[in-house]
Structure 1
Amino acid sequence: MFLAIRELAHAKIRYALIGLIIVLIASLIFIISGLAKGLSADNASAIQNMKADYILMDTDAELEMTKSFISRTDLDNVLQMDGIEQANSLSVRMMNASVNGSDQNEDVALFVTDGDSMLLPSVRDGSPITQEDEAIVDASLQREGIEIGDRLVFGEESELTVVGFTDSQRYSHTPVVFVDGGGRETINAIAISVDESRADEIRNAVGNSFDMVTKDEALKGIPSYSQEQASLNMMIVFLFVITAFVLAAFFYVITLQKRDQFGVLKALGAKTTYLAQNLVGQVVLISIMCIGIAMGLTLGIAELLPEEMPFLLTADEMVQTSILILIVSIIGAFLSLIQIVKIDPIEAIEGAGK
């Protein structure tokens, strides 16, 4: 590490430039990762945060919940199965609501379930549902000016009163409105909590009638969810590849420029492993410093983003992404390690003398 630190101190501008490139690429990776997570939550947080182990849907629905149709009798039969700890109905409707009968309209996802359902989220402000004409709504509607006591009017006959707000309940990029409607004869899905030791047994028992899927699998049925995430994840992968190529090219050129010096060091007794350790040390030091700067820059940018922009990046995710960037950076330096191994001290010294 002594040689690595001395060289970093000697060639400040050279390494500052490559550091700037790494900072920009790492920041872009963090930002796109945050947008990917934010869009995922904005599209499906109501399913991701659902207090259920599995979801049962009609096999013909192909995981698209709004196309699944299940009878109340089927729900009663599921409740009788051994290993089912709890089962609740769920109906999903994409609706447009008028606020207090005014010209203000809001697109919402109506989640209809049982009054004592495990699917009902905890209330942040207000009170839980106590009757069928009450609703708990996602807090994003507060930014639209909706308050507790306001009425959501659906058509001419249906009306709900907002009694509480909850966090992180979005579906298909719209706020979710939870309502008690457990008496419906037809539902879209059944959310179940099961004894995990009997999960396979239950799946086999319902296999002829339902698709028993995890919450992650159910996300694939949300329109555009998979395509949206695939596009953003592909961008992130390409950025990792670009990081590896940039570092590989930079350190390869630097290694070629220092070929004669490495040859002299080898002739003086320096081992190849020592030189390789110093190269890797340089990469690690530069990467750690640049990743730290990129993390701070990303957090600063996140604070400036508008509240309605879907951006979500937790500390754990930032650490995981940082480790990946560091690993990719080290991989990018492997090409230079090969050059160090191949350096012949005699040829390098003779080349330097010409």
Structure 2
Amino acid sequence: MFLALNEIKHSKLRYALVIGVTFLIAYLVFFLTGLSYGLAQENRMAVDKWHATDILLSDNANDSLYMSRLDPKMLDQVKAKEKAVLAQTPGIIIDSKDDQKKQNVSFFVINPEQFLRPNIVKGKMFQETGDVVADKSLETQYDYKLGDKVKLATNDQVLTIVGFTDQAKFSVSPVLYTSLETFQLMRNGASASGQQSVSVNAIVTKGTPSETAGLKKLSIDDFINKLPGYSAQVLTFGFMIGFLVVIAAIVIGIFIYVLTMQKMAIFGVMKAQGISSRYIANSVVAQTFILAFTGVVTGLVATVLSALVLPDAVPFQSQPVFLAVIAVLIVLVAILGALFSVRSIVKIDPLKAIG
């Protein structure tokens, strides 16, 4: 460690460049990790809020929530610790005061007496037909307020925002929670009165549900993985981040190898003076650790600071466990790359190196 630190102090610019490259790669990896995790969460965070174990869809829905159709009365046939009906449909809302202000949303139709009821961070739970509870992003990003009225793009049905909840996005769209009665009005307009209740898409349960004819059970994890585009997105970012970690290690390894080759004569003199190859190799590994650790920590700090100034529209979320694992991987793989330099040091012949 003594030799490693003194050499870094002696050649500050040279090793600052190595740290700078490591910092840039680490920052890129951490930032992409935050973006990929944020995007993944915006696909699933409304589902995670259920704290459910399973979801039941119709047999012929091919594991698709949107294609599933169930009679709400089927809830009585399902035996589980807790259970709730759910209807989901995408939609476009238009500000009743500004026809140019449009937003893609996802409607979650629930029974407020069941466990899918969202937490309220502002306002109140929907009570009257036409009331909705919206994800807070509609307030923070799109300037909607309590009491605002919005129209559906499909039939000009007017809805009123009476409350806001948090962490409620599904397939990257803000979620609007509403009742079965409002959903019926959305589907059929004013002609809904006197008609039979509309179908729902799923039955969500806490605890393992009983087998029910016509229904297919999926665990929540399997259901999330089958969301359109979710698995492909996670795999794409996962491979990208993995390759960047490997590239970071290769770059650091190449720098250390080149620096080692430039110091062959010095190492030869050190060996001739009786300093062991093991001591020199340990100093190279220690030097690699210092450089990689400094670059990674600097990149991590820069990522945290960047997250503080990013606009709400950017789907960035830090996950400490992921960041810690990636940081450790970059340092470890960089040290493994430095072992190529160690092999060269062991093979140094003091007489040849001195010339």
TM-score between the two structures when normalised by the length of structure 2: 0.87
1:152 and 1:159 in contact (8 A); partners too: yes
Cα distance in structure 1, aligned partners of 2:337 and 2:203 = 49
Q: Which of residues 210, 213, 222 in structure 1 aligns to 2:216?
A: 210
In 1: Cα distance, 2:319 partner to 2:135 partner: 21
Q: Give the RMSD, CA atoms, in angstroms.
A: 2.4
- Alpha-carbon contact 1:25-1:239 (below 8 Å) kept: yes
Q: Distance in 2 between matches of 1:305 and 1:192?
A: 37
Change (3 A) 1:101 1:316: same
Q: Which amino acid aligns with 1:170?
A: K
Can you give the 5+ residue segments of structure 1 that lack an aligned partner in the other structure?
Answer: none
The offset of 1:70, in angstroms, is 2.5
The counterpart of 1:246, out of the listed 251, 257, 265, is 251
Please say if 1:298 is aligned against 2:303.
yes
Please tell me the residue identity of whatever aligns with 1:116: E
What is the deviation of 1:123?
1.1
Maintained 8 Å contact 2:265/2:354: no
Identical positions, percent: 30
Residue identity opposite 1:296 in structure 2: V
| Rounded Cα–Cα distance in structure 2 between residues aligned with 1:2 and 1:206 | 70
| Aligned twin of 1:96 | 92
Give 5+ residue unaligned stretches, structure 2: 185-196
Q: Which residue does the alignment assign to 2:313? A: 308
1:83-113 per-position Cα deviation (integer Å, ceiling 9, x unaligned): x210111111011123236413322100001
1:138 aligns with 2:120: no
Shift of 1:254: 2.1
Taking the TM superposition and a 5 Å limit, the aligned residue runs for 1:158-197 are 158-181=157-180, 184-194=197-207
CA apart distance, 1:26: 0.5
Take 2:236 and 2:298, find their aligned partners in 1: how far apart are those partners? Answer: 27
Residue type of the alignment partner of 2:338: A
Q: Give distance in 2, aligned partners of 1:49 and 1:273.
A: 55
Match of 2:24 in 1: 24
Letter in 1 for 2:199: T
Contact 1:97 1:107 in 2 (8 A): yes
SS in 2 for 1:321: helix
Out of 267-276 and 227-236, give the one that drifted further: 267-276
For the 8 Å contact 1:51–1:118, the answer to whether it is kept is no
Contact kept? 1:62, 1:221, Cα under 8 Å: no
* Map 1:233-312 → 2, pairs under 5 A: 233-312=238-317
Matches within 5 A, 1:52-71: 52-71=52-71
- Please, which moves more after superposition, 271-280 or 85-94? 271-280
**In structure 1, what is the equivalent of residue 150 of structure 2?**
152
When residues 336 and 136 of structure 1 are mapped into structure 2, their CA distance, relative to the original with a 3 A threshold, is: same
Alpha-carbon distance in 2 for matches of 1:331, 1:61: 49
Q: Give the conservation status (yes or no) of the 8 Å contact 1:4–1:282.
A: yes
Distance 2:327 2:213 in 1: 42
Change (3 A) 1:291 1:185: same
Q: 2: CA distance between counterparts of 1:146 and 1:52?
A: 30
Matched, 1:119 2:116: yes
**Any idea what SS the aligned residue of 1:146 has?**
coil
Q: Which residue of 2 aligns with 1:10?
A: 10
Q: Which consecutive segments of 4 or more residues in structure 1 shift more than 6 A? A: none
Q: CA deviation at 1:313?
A: 1.2
Shift of the 49–19 alpha-carbon distance from structure 1 to 2, 3 Å rule, reads same
